Structure 1
Amino acid sequence: MTDLDPSPALVPPPVRVWGVPFAPLTLDSSVEVVDALIARGEPSYFITANLHYVMLTHQNPDLAAINRGAAFILADGAPIVKAARELPTPLPERVAGSDLIFHLCERAARKGHRIFLLGAPPGVAEEAAAALVAKYPGLMIAGTACPPFRKLSDAEHEALLDEIRAARPDVLFIAFGQPKGERWIAENVARVGVPVAVQVGASLEFAAGRFARAPRWMQKAGVEWLFRMLQEPRRLASRYASNAAFLGRMKVRRALRGREAAHADAHAADAPREAAREH
């Protein structure tokens, strides 16, 4: 993994939630920061982290370094934003990768940025490219690629990197799943020289029309996960159960720390009175 100069000056100081440093950015300000990264022209990446990714960070020590190398990390989960409300600096809103991809493509169409779509099931990247170009006339799709799910040979891997480099994209959207996508980006973004790369998960399938987004009221209520689980119960039920258990552990840990802090404060308040009695 190559060390990168992580973030432009306009990214505010991070807010740490459950050990992950989230940037307190809105959807609109995230688009502006990506614009600045493209203008800078140096290889970089950012992460859209939902509750599942936070759990994976706790389970996989290598992700801590990947998080530190990111230009910024967005809170793509209602539980993360809710937990941050108890901190001195809260997170302004959830920034869903499945929303951000459309805003970035709209900006790319206006400014002439080149987009590359990598990954997702066979045919999805091509369908997403066609749908995005239809939605945003003038959008330049520099290329699409769908490597096999198995581990690539060295020759196949090098050929894929050559294909991306030759396309000269400004933004590389990757749909490899978590944390495979984040690991791939951290290992390869400097080699392909793309100004901005991001793992987008199912966003390409949303863009292609393979899956529908939850109704807006479900998104605002923080229950989009339920809508998604009904779409893919076999794949997502066990994952969301693990996420719920992790969230429960984080809440218990926070409650215990709060109780310990309250006990320490009470002990500190009693200390002067005890000293006075001794005199």
Structure 2
Amino acid sequence: MPGAIALAEQVIRAGHPEYFVTANLNYLMLAEEHPRLDEINQRSIAVLADGFPIVQRSRFSVQPLPTRVAGADLIVELSRLAADRGYRIFFLGAAPGVARAAADRLVEKFPALQVAGCLSPPFGTITAADHQALLEEIRQTQPDILLVAFGQPKGECWIFDNLYELGIPLSVQLGASFDFLAGTARRAPVLWQRIGCEWLYRALTNPRRLVPRYVSNALFLARQLLHDITTSVKNWKFSST
């Protein structure tokens, strides 16, 4: 986390439009179905591992990841940075009222935090005119950080498509983080997070929506691990002695 926040501050100071990708297991699975996400990942200033399974899988790579960077923690630390440095944050997305509630909760925690604005556009497709009006409303507030909660992969694609037109130094798609802060969804207790079972807690609290997704994620992870292990074995240099 300290590295991500240090990079965020560097990016904001530079002033050029950049974005983080917060990648959980579901995002990796979606990347196989949406080839465009590969371009989005390559263009990002950083892809952060927002998931314990990703950290575990990285143990098979040349550079294992030390820890996860959960979006729900990242939003808090970015707000802390913004409050300390005088940066302005715009909250975009989630259900009506959720972005504002999340922002209010963060202001309670960090009274110096400057909220540039909060918007919850309607779900689904909007007209070109409404889209331009949305961009203009965000631009006029001149935020330093744009936090987006549009879901995957819509949020990542939206940030990528509008990056230069908005000109915001740092944008991040954060998934359910707004809901956790607003209290419309419950985050797992710290113990569940530490043992890598936050996904299980969420599945138990919202089984209808999340169990099918997590089953698909688990099958995807199994295929990936099998591929990693097979590749590693193929690369072994066996001795004949």
TM bucket (normalised to shorter chain) is: over 0.9
Partner of 1:88: 62
Partner of 1:69: 43
1:206-229: CA deviation from partner (whole Å, max 9, x where unpaired):
111222221111111111001111
What TM-score, normalized by structure 2, do the two folds share? 0.96
3-state SS of 1:142 partner: strand
Q: What are the equivalent positions in structure 2 for 1:1-279 lying under 5 Å apart?
A: 27-262=1-236, 265-266=237-238, 269-270=239-240
Q: How many Å separate the matches in 2 of 1:91 and 1:212?
A: 27
Instruction: Give 1:191 shift.
Output: 0.5
Q: How many Å separate the matches in 2 of 1:255 and 1:87?
A: 10
Letter in 2 for 1:71: I
Instruction: Give 1:164 shift.
Output: 0.6
Instruction: Give 1:86 shift.
Output: 2.9
1:102-151: CA deviation from partner (whole Å, max 9, x where unpaired):
01101111111000000001110111111111111011100011111020
CA RMSD of aligned residues (A): 1.3
Could you list the runs of 5+ residues in structure 2 that have no partner in the other structure?
A: none
3-state SS of 1:93 partner: coil
Q: How many Å separate the matches in 1 of 2:60 and 2:229?
A: 12
Letter in 1 for 2:87: H
Q: How many Å separate the matches in 2 of 1:86 and 1:57?
A: 20
Letter in 2 for 1:35: E
Q: How many Å separate the matches in 1 of 2:193 and 2:159?
A: 28
Q: How many Å separate the matches in 1 of 2:205 and 2:174?
A: 18
Q: How many Å separate the matches in 2 of 1:130 and 1:214?
A: 21
Instruction: Give 1:153 shift.
Output: 0.2
Instruction: Give 1:84 shift.
Output: 1.5
Q: How many Å separate the matches in 1 of 2:144 and 2:84?
A: 14
Could you list the runs of 5+ residues in structure 1 that have no partner in the other structure?
A: 1-26, 274-279
Larger Rg over CA atoms: 1
What TM-score, normalized by structure 1, do the two folds share? 0.84
Instruction: Give 1:53 shift.
Output: 0.6
Letter in 1 for 2:186: A
1:235-257: CA deviation from partner (whole Å, max 9, x where unpaired):
11111011000001011112222
Equivalent pair of 2:41/2:47 in contact (CA under 8 Å): yes
Instruction: Give 1:71 shift.
Output: 0.4
Question: What count of residue pairs does the alignment treat as equivalent?
Answer: 241
